[in-house]
Structure 1
Amino acid sequence: MEINLKKYIAAIGICFMALGAACIMKTDPEEVGEELPELIIGSDNYEPYNYLDDDGKPVGIDVELAEAVCEQLGYTPVFQYIVWDKKDEYLDNGKVDCLWGSFTMNGREDEYQWAGPYLYSRQVIAVRTDSKIRNISDLAGKRVAVQATTKPEEVLLERSDPRVPEVDMVYSLSGMDEIYASLRKGYVDAITGHESALERFVGNAPDMYAILDESLYISELGVAFKNDTHQDLAKKMTQILKEMQDDGTLRDMVEKYGLDAEKALGVTNAE
């Protein structure tokens, strides 16, 4: 009996050890499939940064970048498409955690809690090839379409840049498709936007449209959180973005989508 009792006690001990090991193993979220916290990312449809492919899946530079950064931070990115000129409302009411979609941070440093800058982008002007507009000064008295609440709208309306003349009318539209249509139909004389987006528009009909050599503005792109929130997260995100630039990951991403890596990474932005 004594031998059997010892065996019984030993067996119980082994069971408890196995149970304890199993509990320890279950603390690894990857082993048990625990869900990571979500980071709700707001953006409009702005190719090649953030847009939907033919299957309705979010793709683009900012999408791939957000997925890579969130993986390191321990978040699951959720992409929420928004009306861009209502972006602050989405942040204020908590419907999105951040804005991540080719968003210009320079000139807005005090308006949001920023991560970045992580890329650079020229804001350029596109016109019809039969237009007499050849440089920014030729916009005097002309009609120009911009996306509402963007940097080109600000530059044209405030005219803080001495190169910018007084235009006849600035049409502030909701999305890029509307902006492209306004030039196609002759409602405006020129349109403005990020160079990478307008290059795609012009590339579809190079005999009809052209981009001016002179840029309107050089944007530093960042990730915007509501001001005075997510300070630690923004700091960590900035560090990861810097590491991705240093190790060449960011260069590979922008080249994949046809951007000039030297310009996008701020190596060459001279006029």
Structure 2
Amino acid sequence: MKIGKLGMGLIGLALVAMTGCQSAAKPQEDSWSALEAKGKLVVGIDDTFAPMGFRDENNELTGYDIEMAKAVSEKLGLEFEFQTIDWSMKESELNAGNIDLIWNGYSITDTRRQQVAFSEPYLENRQLIITLADSAVSTKADLAGKTIAVQKESSALEAVSADTALTSTLKNGAPEEFDTNIDCFMDLEAGRSQAIVVDEVLARYVMKQRGQEKYKVLDENFGTEQYAVGMRKQDTTLLEKINEAMKACNEDGTTAALNAKWFGE
């Protein structure tokens, strides 16, 4: 029996639909065996997030997280390839398989727990509120009618947005979002924003580099959080391996040495 072009087209569409349904129904698998066979993991980073991961004067990647990741890679016997990503797309990049780890001052939040699996936390952090030194802003209440700058898709954004009583009083009813934390500092210095909310580990480093005397850190903040390594939820073996390697770094003095080098303690 001959089948006309229309019939062939309908059959083709049906096959595509069936294939799509089968793909969607196929469970995601633990990728450890494939990663081990390849001998390499891709680590997604924001290369402007000093002192955790950034580029030095020679444009070489450096920082606390870069060095810790390298130490972990040695213990795993796998190469870690660092890949700069759009931080606002980090979870999408991870779950699309473009990267295997998110490791760059990545804070644990309830929203992120829904998308990724986290390693054991390895560093504590606070979300500081920073203004210019001569600013009249001294409390959260003083931010009413003002503009706050935060990094896109950051834990700072999540922390500020969660305080709906405060955000409703901001100039535009929400914080202004920028691609990087450095952009936030520049916006503050230009006078377009009256305050910024950023991770303490980055803020202390950047203020020291740009001139501590130019800024004021408010006594109030947007809470304490913890840094951890993010990976796909189905990568349970990788999660176990990462935790084991980081524990070994704690026990052999690697972590203490990095703490002393980058934070002085």
Q: TM-score, normalised by structure 1?
A: 0.76
CA contact (8 A) 1:159 1:166 kept: no
Write the mapping of 1:130-209 to structure 2, written as runs, cut at 5 A. 130-159=134-163, 166-169=169-172, 170-203=175-208, 204-209=210-215
Residue 41 of structure 2 corresponds to: 39
- Structure 2: distance between partners of 1:124 and 1:164: 16
Length, aligned pairs only: 224
* Contact 1:36-1:74 within 8 A present in 2 as well: no
The answer for the alignment partner of 1:105 in structure 2 is 108
Q: Secondary structure at the match of 1:102?
A: coil
132, 151, 154: which one aligns with 1:128: 132
**Matched-pair contact (CA < 8 Å) for 1:41–1:97:** yes
Pairwise CA RMSD: 2.1
Aligned match for 2:230, one of 219, 224, 229: 224
In the TM superposition, structure 1's runs of 4+ consecutive aligned residues that sit over 4 Å from their partners are 162-165
What is the CA–CA distance in structure 1 between the aligned matches of 2:259 and 2:152, rounded to whole Å?
25
**Helix, strand or coil at the partner of 2:82:** strand
Measure, in 1, the Cα distance between the counterparts of 2:251 and 2:77: 21
Higher helix share: 2
For residue 116 of structure 1, the aligned residue among 120, 136, 156 is 120
Q: Where does the alignment leave 5 or more consecutive residues of structure 2 unmatched? A: 1-36
Indicate if the aligned counterparts of 1:98 and 1:223 stay in contact, CA closer than 8 A.
Answer: yes
What amino acid is the match of 1:85? S
1:93 to 1:36, Cα distance in 2 relative to 1, 3 A: closer
Aligned to 1:244: 249
Which of these two proteins has the greater Rg computed from alpha carbons?
A: 1
- Residue in 2 aligned with 1:24? none
Cα drift, residue 152 of structure 1: 1.3
Between the aligned partners of 1:238 and 1:260, the Cα distance in structure 2 is 24
Contact 2:50–2:206 under 8 Å retained in 1: no
Residue type of the alignment partner of 1:147? Q
2:73 pairs, out of 56, 70, 74, with 70
How far apart in 2 are the matches of 1:254 and 1:224? 21
